[in-house]
Amino acid sequence: MSRSKRKWDHIRFALANGQERTARFEDIAFIHQSLPDVSLDQVKLDTKIGELSVSSPIFINAMTGGGGDRTLQINRDLAIAARNMGMAISVGSQMAALKDPAEAKTYQVVREEYPNGVIIGNLGSEATSDQAKAAIDMIDANALQIHLNVIQELTMPEGDRDFSFALQRIEKIVSDTNVPIIVKEVGFGMSKETIAKLLSIGVTAVDVGGFGGTNFAKIENNRRESSLAFFNDWGIPTSVSIVEAKTMGSGLSVLGSGGIQTSLDIAKAISLGADAVGAAGHFLKILMKEGVEALIEELQFIHDELAIIMTALGARNIADLQQVPIIISGKTHHWLSERNID
């Protein structure tokens, strides 16, 4: 199967299978505050993604690129939506354009539409440091995501089977490039053990890409008859993964993603410690079904609601929201106590 056919299949299946609601944000409750002592117009949503300053704590996560006109149009629309809100945006894996330079325009359209934006490149951990530099140059990227997608590869018959030396390759990319490197998962979550390894090679930002939203094991299994169905329920829920990442110290910038759909999900992810929050499948679904204007409207709505939630909690900014008192119950509580995380 061609790479571009596979990419289109991912978009179709991600939309058809819908977004699951198993990221476990239902386990998180805010403690109501009757005297928040803040006015809505004081609330500020700016934050930092690693060393990068952004005016919104929400970003559009990596989805597509390569695959011709259809993906070019999707990327153009995502860039327009991000620009409208001053949000950061990641492009999909740029490997397609490194293998076929004619595909580069499907990524470069994001920079054309959003010249002053925070735009994040994307490659898998099979990439070399020369490929990382080329991906950064291709879109004048402000940061580069390196995705880890072992389960997705294993569920694809044509996928990789050798995951050796990924950490060494990432270490070289960190030392050879001059933009922040964000290591991300793609919907299976990141454990504190994984993050400890990443910290040991100088990575300073992770996107936990937790379980509970787009599910690539299901997407791959549904594309064919033979299936590794046991991977359908495999992964660390986003709520848990954010807390696991946060225990690794204040030097690490933690991006929360996986199953994010609402302003309340975003507020809860930040209250668990996330510095910024990404969503992919939910935004793509709105774009494909209702168009770019509807996506812009939804993003405006989410930002407005987030500011209202912060007002109720007495949080003037994202740093305040990270500190509000919460109760963690259910599976998330169970998981964290088994993992000896308070």
Residues that bind ligand FNR (CB under 6 A): 10-11, 14, 61-64, 92-93, 122, 145, 147, 184, 186-187, 209, 213-214, 257-260, 279-282, 284
Question: Shortest approach of ligand FNR to residue 296 CB, angstroms?
Answer: 18
Q: Shortest Cβ distance from residue 317 to ligand FNR (Å)?
A: 24
With contact defined as beta carbons under 8 Å apart, do 278 and 225 qualify? no
281 known ligand binder: yes
- Find how far residue 270's CA is from the centre of its chain: 14
Residue closer to ligand FNR by CB (options 70, 83) is: 70
The answer to the question of whether 214 is labelled as a binding residue is: yes
Q: Is 122 annotated as a binding residue?
A: yes
Taking the complex as a whole, the smallest distance from the CB of residue 257 to ligand FNR amounts, in Å, to 5
What SS3 state is found at 9? helix
Measuring CA to CA, which residue among 11, 6, 261 is closest to residue 155? 6
Question: Smallest gap, in angstroms, from Cβ of residue 102 to ligand FNR?
Answer: 18
Contacting residues for 42 by C-beta, under 8 A, at least 6 apart: 316
How many Cβ atoms from other residues are within 10 Å of residue 303's Cβ?
20
The alpha-helical segments, DSSP class H, found in the chain are 3-17, 69-85, 95-99, 105-113, 129-139, 150-155, 166-176, 192-200, 216-222, 238-246, 263-271, 281-290, 292-313, 318-323, 330-338
Is residue 139 within 8 A of residue 89, CB to CB? The reply is no
Q: Which is nearer to ligand FNR, 219 or 324 (CB)?
A: 219
Q: Is 152 annotated as a binding residue?
A: yes
Q: Which is nearer to ligand FNR, 89 or 313 (CB)?
A: 89
* 51 annotated as ligand-binding: no
Q: How far is the CB of 63 from ligand FNR (least distance, A)?
A: 4
CB contact at 8 A, 140 and 74: no
Judge whether 62 is annotated as a binding position: yes
Binding site, annotated residues for Mg(2+): 153
Binding site, annotated residues: 6-7, 62-64, 93, 122, 152-153, 184, 214, 280-281
